[in-house]
Every structure is written in structure tokens, then in C-alpha cells.
Structure 1
Amino acid sequence: MQRILAADIGGTNSRFGFFELGAEADEPHLLGIARLPTQQFESLVQLLQALFSEQRPFAAASCDLAVLAVPGPVQGRFCRPPHIKWNIDLYDITKVGLGRGALLNDFAAQAFASRSRAVRDARVLQASRSDVQSVGGGTVAVIGAGTGLGHCALVPDGRGGHLAVPSEAGHASFPLVGDNEHAYGEYVRRVTNMTYCTGDAVVSGSGLSRLHAFLTGEVLAPAVLAPRLQNFPRTVEWFARFYARACRNYALAVLALGGVYVCGGVAAKNPQLVQHPAFLEEFRLSPTQHDLLAGLPVMLNINEDSGVFGAALFGVQRLRRRA
């Protein structure tokens, strides 16, 4: 029996899954999940010390592999997350008694989660059509709005596993269409002091609040706005179109014949933002690829803990290939 600590370090919250892996099991067994507020800690070491300051399903010293999914580009053993005030160095896990470790991008973990039990309750936004679905599985596009807008593609590796292809597309410029949207773009640039609108600025929790303020003049934090969204159909429709546009562009960029998984806290907490008719209308909108887009399966992953399942599945692949 091997033990995996699977962490999903978020800009707002960090989740830690404690897993055991049997010799013949395809997926590890979840023993428990712990959640901690990321911004309350001054370093990764402090975060891990707080984690193990309470009784957990297993101690740090008995962990066979710690997998940390982190919100930013991974450079070997290091990551500088754009939305966390401290850096992440894999060496630091040894300071709390953890030994062997691995880093992967947080949306690489979400991509692996699309092949795990974490998505068994995913909601179908658009069913697949057999004439466009890839035989044997194709590239899966995973995209999700939370603190920022994450992207990752998952590609079959030809050996029975998968290769995650992370992306920082949330920091790329976001396409705006028509006079009204360009007026919104000018507003975003003014209030954020950005040179151009990015996906992170438009399709995210803060982007939802920013959009609402532009349309209504009412400035509300995402947590305050969310339960009142039913009273603001224009905010919902605009955001649904923006979210769908981001999904469409990424699905086309990676040719997501394996489907599109929408994840992240924004849609999980507010599913009306992707279940609005404007979402699929915008997703399918293309002068040349409408039929392809209309046939791709599009799923909403409502499991906000899915990142730890994906990190654990990545850990299984790592352990077995190094055995």
C-alpha cells in the first residue's frame, strides 16, 4: 500500500487529499480531505506545518509521494504563482518531513481529474455527437474560472496514460466584439490599469464583479453578488457569452475531440452562468467550425475538490512508471 498526499494550492483556498494506493487499483482510495485558506499563511512551509499540526490520516514521514498542484507555470522544482504572495519551491516540503515530491500546474491536475471519479457527477452542458467524437479518446480541453482563468489540455500518451499540456492562456489578451464590449474593455483597462484585457480579468470571480459594476454601477464582491445573480439577467448573459468564448477558443486551439470540461469555483457555485442559453449559442458560434463545435461534449465539473483527485491520479502514474 502506497500513500499519496495530493495538494491543490489555490489563490484563495488550498485543498489536501490523503490517498492510499493498492497494488492492483486503477485509482487511489481517498482517506480524507483538509482545506486551509491560502492567504493566511506566509509561505508553503507555514501552510504545510498548519496542515500537519492536526491529526491526519497519515503523517508526513509515512507519505510515499507528495504531489502539489500549483496555480502558475512550473519550472522544474519551482513556481512563482501570480495570485499568491509567496513562491513555491519543492525543496521546502522536506522541512515538514515529506520526502519525495512532484509539482504540476493546478490545471494539469484538473485535466487529470477529468479521467477520475471526481467527474462522475459532472453535468452535461452539450452531449457529444458520434461523428465528431475521437475514436479511442482525443485531446480533452479543461478550462475554469476562479481566482483566474485556468487552461490545460490532456492528451493520450500512447502508453495507457496521459500527458497534461499546461497553459497560461488566462494571461493572454481576451477578444471583445462590438462597440458595447469594447466600451467594457476600456472600463476594465481603466479600473485595473492593464495595457489590455486578459482572460483572467474578464472570466474570473473578480471579472464577474467588474462586469456587474460596468452594467449596473453597483460594486459587489463575488460572494455578495453570486446569490443575487437571478436578479441581474444582463450580467448573467454577458458573462455566459464571455465564458463560452473562452471555452470555444481553447477547444479550437487544442482540437478538443475528447471534449471540454468546465471547472473552477465560479461555475461550480453559479451553474446558471454556463447553463444560460447564451453559453452554447456563443460556444457554437463560428463561421467555419460550427458543426464541429456543436458536436463536442461539454461538461460542467461541479466537484470543487477535483484538483486533489487529479493530482493523486498524476501521482499514481508517476509512482508506477518509476517502480
Structure 2
Amino acid sequence: MQRIFAADIGGTNARFALFTGHEGSLGLDTVVWEKSADLRTAEDLLQIMQRQLQTPLAEGDMLVIALAGPTHGLRGKLTNGPLQVDLGGVGQRYGLSCCLLINDFTAQAFAALTPRGAGAKVVRGRALPDTESTQTKAVFGAGTGLGAASLVCCGGEAGFRHWLAVPSEAGHAPFAFVGAEEHAYQGFLARDLGCDMPTAENVLCGEGLSLLHYYLSGQFYYPAMVGEQVLSHDTPTLHWYARFLGRFCRQWILNTLSRGGLWIAGGIVAKNPQCVEHPAFLQELAAGGDVGGIVHATPILLTTDANSGLWGAARAGLEHLRGQTLAASAKG
């Protein structure tokens, strides 16, 4: 039996949980949410984590922090907030034997292996992904920014295979516009943003959603209001956005060969599921080439559980602990 402390830190919310791991499965013991605006250092984060979970970190086998920002080793920075994390020496100070710092979409990728991944809402394809499948899985989500990652099986015995999360900067790749109407919008977007090649993040994230609605209607709404006022019923903005979303999904499936499933995590789509229910989304998925029928065969799911990142962080912790055990066995 292993106890894993997990944190999922975003620009607005900081989520903390305590999990129990046993023979490759996870159980959630406690979960609490706090605002992340006042977090500045790793000490702030860990102190509030202990206090809110009412459990000393020394009682855990593993600490995993998923951070919405760039990470390198045990250091990272929250993109939309003042928090800077340095976990060097934390284990000794808090009595922890093992610490792990990962990007939030690495956690979302690992969440596909948990009950939250299996229980995600099916957008298209079979009702449930095959949990025993070793096929590559992928995830992305568009909110303030666009995150994307994939999960590749690297072997191991049945029941607990070894998985490797592959990070990505797919959100910063140029978006593929098609046809005269879309190229006219591309020109507008490029002028407004002051860039030559708008990216997928420019198109699919909150700012891009506001600009898309302004271009099509002449009305400017902040992203949250676009969701409430415009995406809630069939409008040109919903039609265009659903088409753009379907195109990115098709490209990401082909880029990652994610036959094991594509999970759309959180952000705009979780709050506005009609974006993936609109006919334009499915039509765009079916457009263009589909080598070997990969796109058609890949199930697409929508993660609506806001705690999925915590589950993914804990699953990453299990993976890390399992790797340590196997390495120790090999040396012995």
C-alpha cells in the first residue's frame, strides 16, 4: 500500500489530494481546492497542502505536483501566476522519500489510465477505451492556453505496463486555415495579433474565441461571455469554432497515432460541450486524408471532471514508484 500526495496547480485554482495506491490501482482519500493567487514558493504550496489535507507529508511515499507551466527537473514556474517551485531538498525537510514535478498536461495524459479517463464522456467511438490496450493515447485542452501531450506504452507486464508521457508544444504550431473565407480570417487574426502565422493556441484558446466572434459579428465579448452568450446555441461562431476544433483533433490524432484514444481535457470544451456535439466538428474530423483509417477508428472523449489532473498526477507517481522498484530489483 502506498500513499501519494498530489497537487494540480493552475493559474486560478490549486487542487490538493491524498491517494492510496495498491497493486497498480488508485483510490482517492481526500481532495480540497484553494485559490492559487497567493502561492509564491514551494514552501507556501506544501504548507497549505499539509494544512488542508490534515496530514503530514512525512506520512506519504510520494509527492507529485502538476504545474500549469514549464518544468525542468524539480523546478518550474506557473505561467499565469507568481508561483515558482523548487523541490530541491524538500524531501529531506518534510520527510518525503520521493518528489516529482510535472507539467499539468503530462498529468492529464496519465489521467487517461485512471477511472477518470475511463469514465470520460464519449464524443465519438466505442463507449469505453480498452484499459488493457497498449496503444498510444493523446490529450489536449484549450483554455487560457493550449496544452497537449501523448502517452506511449514502453512495455512491462500485464496489469501494470510502463508508460511514458511525451510533452508537446503543438499549441504553438501554425494553424492550418482552409479556403478563401478562412484565409481572410487568418489575415485579420495576423494583423490583430501582430504575427505572420497564427498558431493553434491563437485560434482555439480564449483570446482567439473572442476574436473569432468579433470578426464574425462585430461584437466583442470576453471569452467566458462568448461561451455563455454565443456557444450555447447554433451561431456562426459555434460553427466556425467547432470546425477548427475538429481540424485540430484530426491533426493531433495523426501526429500522435493515438489509436488508444484522444481525450479533450477541461477548458472551453468542458464548459461548452456543444462545441464537439455540433455537426461541423464531426464533419471536419472526416475531412481530408485518413491514412489507414486511424482518425475514424480513434475514440474521442471529453474529460469533464475538474479533478482529473490530480488523478493523473497520482498515476504518474505510481509509475515513478513502480520504476524505482523494478530498478532496485534489477540491481538486486
State the TM bucket, normalised to the shorter chain.
Answer: 0.7 to 0.9
Number of positions where the alignment pairs a residue of Structure 1 with one of Structure 2 = 316
Give the match for residue 4 of structure 1.
4
SS of the equivalent of 2:220 reads coil
Q: Distance in 2 between matches of 1:194 and 1:88?
A: 32
Matching residue within 307, 317, 320 for 2:319: 317
Q: Does the CA-based 8 Å contact 2:9-2:68 persist in structure 1?
A: yes
2:155 equivalent to 1:158 = yes
Distance 1:60 1:319 in 2: 16
- Answer yes or no: is 1:91 the counterpart of 2:88: yes
Q: Secondary structure at the match of 1:91?
A: coil
- Is it true that 1:67 corresponds to 2:64 in the alignment? yes
Query: CA separation of 1:158/1:95 partners in 2, compared to 1, >3 Å: closer, same or farther?
Result: closer
Secondary structure (helix, strand or coil) at the match of 1:314 reads helix
The change in CA–CA distance for 1:43 and 1:199 in structure 2 (over 3 A counts) is farther
Deviations 1:171-213 (A, max 9, x none): 2222222232233233333333344312222112332222222
- Runs of at least 5 residues in structure 1 that lack an aligned partner in the other structure: none
1:163 alignment partner, SS class: strand
Higher RCO (C-alpha under 8 Å, 6+ residues apart) = 1
Cα distance in 2 for residues equivalent to 1:184 and 1:2: 53
Report the 3-state secondary structure (helix = DSSP H, G, I; strand = E; otherwise coil) of the residue aligned with 2:185.
helix
The one-letter code of the counterpart of 1:31 is: D
Structure 1 CA distance for aligned equivalents of residues 176 and 78 of structure 2: 24
Compute the TM-score of the two structures, normalised by the length of structure 1.
0.88
Q: In the alignment, is the contact (CA less than 8 A) between 1:239 and 1:273 conserved in 2?
A: yes
Match of 1:307 among 306, 309, 331: 309
Query: What residue in structure 2 maps to residue 174 of structure 1?
Result: 175
| Cα 1:81/1:314, change in 2 over 3 Å | same
Does structure 1 conserve the Cα–Cα contact (< 8 Å) formed by 2:39 and 2:83?
no
Give the 3 Å change call, closer, same or farther, for CA 214–49 of structure 1 in structure 2.
Answer: farther
Distance 1:288 1:320 in 2: 37
Q: In structure 1, what is the equivalent of residue 15 of structure 2? A: 15
> Aligned residue for 2:218?
217
Name which of 294, 297, 320 aligns with 1:295: 297
TM-score with structure 2 setting the length: 0.85
Q: Distance in 1 between matches of 2:190 and 2:94?
A: 45
For residues 55 and 259 of structure 1, what CA distance do their matches in structure 2 show? 35
Q: Is 1:240 aligned to 2:242, yes or no?
A: yes
Aligned equivalents of 1:202, 1:302: Cα separation in 2 = 22
Aligned pair in 2 of structure 1 residues 198, 3: CA closer, same or farther (>3 Å)? Answer: same
C-alpha displacement at 1:73, in angstroms?
A: 3.8
The one-letter code matched in structure 2 to 1:72 is: G
- Secondary structure of the structure 2 residue equivalent to 1:174: coil
Identity %: 38
Alpha-carbon spacing, 1:246–1:39, altered in 2? closer, same or farther (3 Å): farther
Among candidates 131, 141, 144, match of residue 144 of structure 1: 141
Q: Is the 8 A contact 2:10 2:78 kept in 1?
A: no
Deviations 1:192-242 (A, max 9, x none): 334431222211233222222222222222222322222451111111111
Q: Is the aligned partner of 1:105 residue 2:106?
A: no
CA distance in 2, matches of 1:10, 1:215: 31
Tell whether the 8 Å contact from 1:268 to 1:304 is kept in structure 2 after alignment. Answer: no
Whichever residue aligns with residue 5 of structure 1, its letter is F
In structure 1, the partner of 2:254 is 252
Structure 2, gaps ≥5 residues long: 326-332
CA distance in 2, matches of 1:244, 1:13: 28
Q: CA deviation at 1:154?
A: 0.7
Structure 1 pair 318–176 and aligned structure 2 pair: CA distance change class (3 A)? same
**Alpha-carbon distance in structure 2 between the residues aligned to 1:185 and 1:79:** 34
| Residue matched to 1:37 | 35
- Alpha-carbon distance, 1:282 to partner: 0.8
Amino acid aligned to 2:48: A
The Cα offsets for residues 105-163 of structure 1, whole Å up to 9 and x where unpaired, read as 2111111111110124322211159xxx9x94311111111221111111111111211
Distance 1:75 1:187, change over 3 A: same
Question: Is the partner of 2:134 in helix, strand or coil?
Answer: coil
Closer, same or farther in 2 for the Cα pair 1:296/1:55, shift >3 Å? closer
Correspondence for 2:112 among 105, 111, 114: 114
